[in-house]
Amino acid sequence: MQWRKFNGEAISKPIRKAVEEMILRETALGNKLKVCIGTDSQVKGLETEFATVIVFLREGRGGFMFISNYSTHIKYSIKERMLREVSASIEIAYELCDLFTAYDVDMEVHADINTNPQFKSNEALREATGYILGMGFAFKAKPEAFASSCCANKIVN
């Protein structure tokens, strides 16, 4: 996966190294961090575009994010697409979770799945919840899942 900052600047080093350097920089500045990881997708004709974000929140001082996105020509059902989003978030959360533990940074996985049964994405809520909690991660779904439903959403729309 190729990562970049919100301003478009490419992150040339491995994401794990970039995240660790960011944690060290921010803590040296006296900032208490929380990280939220989320993925959103958008079907555009025959393509489905996915965007995964790592959102760094500075307690009381705003935040910033790292972004990775890609497109595929695979046709997904709504449930498959929602679970693919969750899988992408868990993949990066799993790669980074020991860093967050080592540096005492709280982390949540955000899923762009609606908790209201009237919405189609709700079909995947039970499986996504089990998947994320089963991996041992804190979890938020819509409307509290801002990393996926707001931040990642801005990238794919």
pLDDT of residue 95: 97
pLDDT digits (tens, 9 = 90+) for 62-112: 999 999 999 999 999 999 999 999 999 999 999 999 999 999 999 999 998
Residue 134: CB atoms within 10 A of its CB come to 9
CA angle centred on 37, ends 156 and 48, rounded to 5°: 30
- Dist. CA 112–CA 152, nearest whole Å: 9
| Domain topology for 3-156 | Nucleotidyltransferase; domain 5 (3.30.420)
- Domain regions of the chain by residue span: 3-156
- Dist. CA 122–CA 124, nearest whole Å: 5
pLDDT digits (tens, 9 = 90+) for 97-110: 999 999 999 999 99
